Structure 1
């Protein structure tokens, strides 16, 4: 069972995990052991994920989420299958947690009366300084 938060958990039967052979260098060891993990999670079929999480996940433009609503994670950074499995599950949990965070609504504000007054005063003061930089007229 994958724990996302205190209210949201995903049972193991909703997550499809398969072991595959890792890519890249590694000699004979990489050619004969399946240490990489391929994790698949279908957002539409999930019964334990709340509807709000599903909607936010489907609206995210993330490279791990396909157009069909499938989360596909490949983990091959470690040499052991167990560590790659834990890394893939943690990446899935982090992605779902990120979808659960709602951004604070921004309310546009305006500067106060005193702030506007200070700004105009500074502009006039700056303008007076610039007029003093003109050519000196002989008397």
Structure 2
């Protein structure tokens, strides 16, 4: 996991929610802003992968923005939003393994067919015969 937190800029704003009278005076909500394409930490291919995976979260200027107002303190919100952004980018860079098709073994196929035959015979025996 690459720590690109030095490239993130922060902006504060007034937070809604819990905080009592503090809410109207103190700027506790923190918005983290990161320019994906100008990052020095990632290769061009990694930047493209991040841009593709997170295209719904990246604005027209190429900035990835996230906001946190979960906590009552600015410092805690800054920590939360930084961790969320690092985790989000890490997930975007994850390349899943290619899945290849497998066949059921001959024994498994035979077992399934035998069970079907048993069930069929059981139901056939239930029929009323003259």
TM-score (norm 1): 0.81
Tell me the secondary structure at the aligned position of residue 126 of structure 2: coil
Q: Give the alignment partner of residue 47 of structure 2, picking from 30, 36, 54.
A: 54
Q: Using the TM superposition, give the Cα deviation of residue 67 of structure 1 relative to its aligned residue in structure 2, in angstroms.
A: 5.2
Q: CA deviation at 1:10?
A: 1.5
Distance 1:27 1:123 in 2: 67
Q: Distance in 2 between matches of 1:134 and 1:100?
A: 61
Q: Is the 8 A contact 2:12 2:28 kept in 1?
A: yes
| RMSD (CA atoms) | 2.0
Alpha-carbon separation, structure 2, partners of 1:20 and 1:112: 61
Structure 1 residues 119 and 135: alpha-carbon distance in aligned structure 2, compared to 1, 3 A threshold: same
Larger mean Cα displacement after TM superposition, 112-121 or 66-75: 66-75
Quote how far apart the aligned CAs of 1:60 are.
Answer: 1.6
Residues 1:72 and 2:65 aligned together: yes
Q: Mind listing any 5+ residue stretches in structure 1 that lack a counterpart?
A: none
In the alignment, which residue of structure 1 is the partner of 2:75? 82
Q: In the alignment, does 2:26 pair up with 1:33?
A: yes
Cα distance per residue 1:17-51 (max 9 Å; x no partner): 01111124544311111111111111111121233
Confirm or deny: 8 A CA contact 1:35 1:84 kept in the other structure. yes
**Change in CA separation of 1:118 and 1:101 when aligned onto 2, cut-off 3 Å:** same
Structure 2 length-normalised TM: 0.86
Which moves more between the two structures, 14-23 or 56-65? 56-65
3-state SS of 1:118 partner: helix
